[in-house]
Amino acid sequence: MRKIKKIFIIIIIFILILIVSYSGIYLYAKSTPKLSIKGANGYYLYDNKGKIYEGGSEDWASFDDISSNLINATISCEDKNFYSHRGFDIFRIFKALFINVKNKSNSQGASTITQQLSKNLFLDFDKTWSRKIKEAWITFRLESHYSKDKILEGYLNTINYGGIFGIQNASKYYFGKSSKDLSLAEASMLAGIPKNPSKYSPLLNFKESKKRQKSILNSMVKNGYITKSEADNAYNEEVVFAKDENDESLKMIMYYQDAVMDELSTLPSIPSTFLETGGLKIYTNLDTRAQKILESSSDNIVNKDIELSGVIMDPKSGKVLSLTGGRDYNKSEFNRAIKAKRQIGSTIKPFLYYSALENGFTPSTTFTSEKTTFSFSGGKTYSPKNYNDKYANGPISLAAAISYSDNIYAVKTHLFLGEDALSDILKRVGINGNFSNLPSLALGAVDMDMMSMMGAYSSLANEGYRVKPYFISKVTDMDGNVLYDYNYTPESILNKSTVYILNELLTTTYSSEFKDYNVPTCLSIFPKMTHKYAIKSGTTNTDNLIFGYNKELLVGLWTGYDNNTTVDNKDSLNIKNMWVDIMEEYLKGKTDEETWYEIPNNVVGVPIDPISGLASTDGGKSKILYYIKGTEPSDNKASLDDVIPTVKEITED
């Protein structure tokens, strides 16, 4: 009995200390300057025409202009004691701790609406202890300076309703009406979305949305806001959406918005909370026309289970015009365009061949294409294969190797140049990493992210300059004061003439002159082309990629599965069709004179036999290939197989 009494006294003392501490912090918070939260619902994103794009709006709904149905539904499902606590629901916190300890899980949360608002006022959702302390301090300040109605107003104007931020925007998006006009049925459905937007959006998962709505209506009955009869009527009411489940207007654009916010968090001149700026105006490079083209062209990806990432970019400046990190943001928010690293396959080869051209190769340089086992020290061997196991069984030109994406030629080139040559050129075009200098690097047996590849390819598309892919051009506070202004000077890193020769070589991937024992890798999409492009595709067991460009536009696409399921041959054709549709639609009305490159003064075009690389003879098949003046082929060009080592020292990391 004495032990129980002692524990009881300790608990009482602990509670008294807690109350005194809380009161002291609360009084101190009250003495601090009042935080401005109206308009600090965060950020307004503008496209490259200066127009706010879908997902953001400057609308702020006052408390009196928000339906009481929505307010009551939100309180019931999020924080039923909202009007009785002072920012922290102590009993709910202890209850959640008890349940989590008992169940050995983290399933129970105890955040109040005020705490959620505090969290929403930060630019990101860092989970460090220092962040939690800052959020707690803001919670005290909000509670000490604002009425409950004002806090709730701030919360409802900042919360995420499935990619739509703020209750006014959500009301208009889902139901085409003002937030003050929401019915009980509509309000209870909207109030359920923030807990898990991808699961409870009525446009994406109506069945789960109805389950969530029923739970909220029942909680409203339990908390005395409505009667059981009103709950039943609301549940059975047929709601009419302003958008339907087939509407794709926001299925991809939110990936661009996430990429913007990801970049924003890296800018040192931007404060960490919206409270320091009263909100932000973020001017982005989004080209809504390019975004619409990207989204509509995704219909080419007929396999509805496969995932997608794609980027459209201005290669001269590095401006990212549009982006998608998946097929449907509401089903998966993982942004594959900026976060996923995948094997890049043969799309690495243009950088290998740039290095080769820089080191004395020409479009006519030959290696023998045949089944080959490469032998190395220590008894190690490497036996790469060509796609479809097709070989010339004789010498082929560099031009033919690019057209067919010949793997044997690529590995021989890699070994001939030396193991550091490819990794050195990758670093020069901005791809940083510890590359294993094994023979398989020449075939893209390395994981890279899409944005790194876009940056690297831009150096080819802009005739030799390193540019940095970027989303944000300028950031201001709500008063127009500039907090950030993009400023970057492109750096010349590649030889313009060599880049021109390589870009012309990359047109062989769809050139009918190369139809022979094999066919060019992108010949199937040639009938759709009205412009000249440099293209390189890549296929691994789990990935399909394509990068292609002219001086006006660079487009990169990837398809595959998050769980590395094997891809189908048809998936490769689908992504190529998607790519050409994007290029053709975006460049409609432009001529090759506007979009292709001028021939440098020291470069000459010569009719060449595509396979042998020799000067073409009368009546023979020919293709104009380009050379530095003085390196044009003679009639008897030696194969580099005569000089390449058959055994080479290879060390593994």
pLDDT tens digits along 460-511: 999 999 999 999 999 998 888 999 999 988 999 999 999 999 999 999 999 9
> What pLDDT does residue 649 have?
37
One domain, residues 238 and 149: yes
One domain, residues 329 and 381: yes
Catalytic residues: 78, 346
Task: Pull the structure tokens for residue 102.
Answer: 């008992």
647 confidence band (pLDDT: 50, 70, 90): very low
Q: Taking residues 416-440, report their average pLDDT.
A: 89
| pLDDT > 70 fraction of the chain, expressed in percent and rounded | 82
The 3 state secondary structure assigned to 232-258 is HHHHHCCCCCCCCCCCCCCCCHHHHHH
> What pLDDT does residue 208 have?
93
Q: Which of 274-283, 289-298, 633-642 has the lowest mean pLDDT?
A: 633-642
The domain that holds 244 is classified in CATH as 1.10.3810.10
**Is residue 255, in this structure, part of any structural domain at all?**
no
Q: Which of 348, 412, 408, 410 is nearest to 648 (CA)?
A: 412
**Is residue 564, in this structure, part of any structural domain at all?**
yes
Q: Taking residues 325-351, report their average pLDDT.
A: 92
Residue 181: pLDDT above 60?
A: yes
Residue 636: pLDDT above 50?
A: no
At 639 the three-state DSSP class reads: strand
79 or 316, higher pLDDT: 316
CA distance 136 to 144: 12
**Is residue 41, in this structure, part of any structural domain at all?**
no
Residue 210: pLDDT above 60?
A: yes
pLDDT digits (tens, 9 = 90+) for 408-426: 999 999 999 998 999 999 9
One domain, residues 608 and 525: yes
Q: Taking residues 167-175, report their average pLDDT.
A: 90
One domain, residues 235 and 152: yes
**Is residue 400, in this structure, part of any structural domain at all?**
yes
**Is residue 282, in this structure, part of any structural domain at all?**
no
Question: CB of 216 within 8 A of CB of 73?
Answer: yes
| pLDDT > 90 fraction of the chain, expressed in percent and rounded | 58
DSSP secondary structure, 565-622, as one string: PPPPHHHHHHHHHHHHHHHHHHTTT--HHHHSPPPPTTEEEEEE-TTT-SBPPTTS--
Question: CB of 180 within 8 A of CB of 66?
Answer: yes
Which residues are CB-contacts of 434 (< 8 A; sequence separation ≥ 6)? 653
233, 248, 263: which is the final residue of a domain?
248
One domain, residues 605 and 523: yes
Whether this model's pTM surpasses 0.95: no
557 forms bridges with which residues in the sheet?
310, 546
Q: Taking residues 67-85, report their average pLDDT.
A: 90
Residue 11, domain extent: 1-31
Residue 193: pLDDT above 70?
A: yes
Q: At what angle do helices 228-236 and 184-191 cross, to 10 degrees?
A: 80
Residue 392: pLDDT above 50?
A: yes
CA distance 425 to 356: 10
One domain, residues 223 and 120: yes
Q: Which of 159, 339, 167, 199 is nearest to 258 (CA)?
A: 339
One domain, residues 75 and 173: yes
pLDDT digits (tens, 9 = 90+) for 118-156: 877 766 656 667 667 777 777 777 888 788 898 899 889
pLDDT digits (tens, 9 = 90+) for 237-268: 999 988 655 454 556 888 998 999 899 989 98
Q: Which of 127, 160, 143, 135 is nearest to 41 (CA)?
A: 160
**Is residue 520, in this structure, part of any structural domain at all?**
yes
> What pLDDT does residue 72 have?
95
Q: Which of 164, 338, 337 is nearest to 250 (CA)?
A: 164
Task: Pull the structure tokens for residue 34.
Answer: 């009042």
Do the bridges between strand 447-449 and strand 394-397 make them parallel or antiparallel, or are there none, so unpaired?
Answer: unpaired
**Is residue 45, in this structure, part of any structural domain at all?**
no
pLDDT digits (tens, 9 = 90+) for 587-596: 999 988 899 9
**Is residue 281, in this structure, part of any structural domain at all?**
no
Residue 161: pLDDT above 70?
A: yes
One domain, residues 194 and 300: no
Give me the long-range contacts of 514-518 (CB less than 8 A, separation at least 24). 514/399, 514/400, 514/403, 514/404, 514/610, 514/611, 514/623, 516/400, 516/610, 516/611, 517/390, 517/391, 517/392, 518/388, 518/390, 518/392, 518/404
- Cα torsion 179, 180, 183, 188 to 10°: value is 50
CA distance 195 to 212: 10
Q: Taking residues 607-621, report their average pLDDT.
A: 86
pLDDT digits (tens, 9 = 90+) for 15-64: 666 566 656 666 655 666 666 666 555 678 899 999 887 545 557 888 99
248, 282, 312: which is the final residue of a domain?
248
Q: Which of 167, 205, 204, 160 is nearest to 186 (CA)?
A: 167
pLDDT digits (tens, 9 = 90+) for 508-536: 999 999 999 999 999 999 999 999 999 99
One domain, residues 545 and 591: yes
Q: Which of 15, 73, 517, 488 is nearest to 267 (CA)?
A: 488
Tally of structural domains, the chain: 3
Phi, psi of 589 (to 5 degrees): 95, -10
The domain that holds 510 is classified in CATH as 3.40.710.10
One domain, residues 23 and 65: no
Phi, psi of 375 (to 5 degrees): -105, 140
One domain, residues 152 and 219: yes
Reported as type and span, the H/E element at residue 396 is strand 394-397
Question: CB of 264 within 8 A of CB of 124?
Answer: no
> What pLDDT does residue 123 have?
61
Residue 582 class from Cβ within 10 Å (0-12 exposed, 13-18 middle, 19+ buried)?
A: buried
One domain, residues 24 and 63: no
